[in-house]
A = this chain, B = another copy of it.
Amino acid sequence: MSQVFSVDQLVDFMTRTYVACGVPAADARSTAEMMIEADLLGSDAHGIFRLPQYVKRIRAGGFNLHPNIRIERETIATALIDGDNAMGHLVMRFAAETAIAKAKVAGVAWVGLHHGNHAGAGAVYARMPLKHDMVGIYGAVGSANHLPPWGGIEMLLSTNPLAIAVPAHEEPPVVLDMATTVASYGKIKARAQRGEMMPEGWMMGNDGKPLLDPKRSAEGFLMPIGGHKGYGLALIIGLLGGSLNGAAMGRDVVDFNADAKSVTNTGQCIVAVSLSAFGDPETIKRDVDRVSREMRSAQKMPGVDRIRVPGEDSHRRHAQQSQDGIALPAPLLDILGKLADDLSIARLS
């Protein structure tokens, strides 16, 4: 059983929750808005689902609730932001807005940050430049290490995600939002809960053999996409999101699932590229339309009913759920109800 809520209801509930935890009202609302964007796009694992975890971290003193998020260093087309250990969504929103403002002047802008925190779905930030006729690119050091270097069994890398959004004219924007591993940890936990086995290729055991039982996930690690290539991608995204910004990378990375208190010094980066620097935006966007249509109308493999362009499903879902509301499953509603009771605020309704 699930229950449907409007975006306003959900944003209001999250805002009230954060305020009850001591988050200033404007920051509470801003974080809630970025989180609901993830739900709208279909990234359920990065939306309201995360509220209890963030509350836990607030209560453990893991976030700075009165941060001074500021540009520490800048050029006309770059900025390094000190997130001051604020909630991750606030820092990333500031970073994305800074990148957009600078790209309006310089054509492109690259903004990096340190002392941020887990900020949810990369697509939320990569999509922000779209309405300014800009490409958005987001990279992050993930918030827990689940991936060893290729040939190793020591998990020194996270699933370091990459999100890239390209504006289109009439078609949905092309938005890639991917971890550099074949499967996410969330997917594996879900299989374990359902008592299902994993397909070969998701995880490998420390003995070098495929690991198929998700209940034994502690005996192995996630597999990178394309073997050594995915390892290389995860490493490079980590260097650009972490080392370049003076943020945690490699052994420094704090597992934010296991430790709600330590400063994570999370690093992320966002790039905005203005179409108008390269041509007439409408002409470029029409070509993106053309390419999307070519992909979709390509000759199909037997048994395939539809070819997707990355981001088109989440784009439609965003439009549909913005109008019809978001369905929350009963177990999540239970958890959110208890959280409300615990904070002595009104339940979601």
Contacts and interface: CB of A to CB of B under 8 A. Distances in A.
Interface string A146-187: 001111111010000000101000000010101000100000
A231 to B, nearest CB: 8
A95 to B, nearest CB: 13
A255 to B, nearest CB: 16
Contact of A294 (B156, B288, B290): B156
A153 B299 contact: yes
A274 B248 CA distance: 20
B154 A299 contact: yes
B236 A310 contact: yes
A303 interface: yes
Interface of A: 73-78, 80, 105-110, 112, 135, 148-154, 156, 164, 166, 174, 176, 178, 182, 206-208, 225-226, 228-233, 235-236, 238-240, 243-246, 249-251, 271, 273-275, 277-279, 283-284, 287-288, 290-291, 294-296, 298-304, 306-310
In this complex, the member of A77, A78, A279 whose beta carbon has the largest number of chain B beta carbons within 10 angstroms is A77
Q: Copies per complex?
A: 2
Given A150-B308, A275-B244, A236 B174 contact: yes
Nearest to A304: B151
A207 B295 contact: no
Contacts of A153: 298-301
Given A156-B294, A294-B251, A108 B178 contact: no
B73 A278 contact: yes
Contact of A182 (B226, B240, B251): B226
Given A110-B273, A249-B291, 11 more contacts: A73-B279, A108-B271, A135-B240, A148-B299, A149-B298, A151-B300, A174-B236, A176-B233, A228-B310, A231-B310, A235-B310
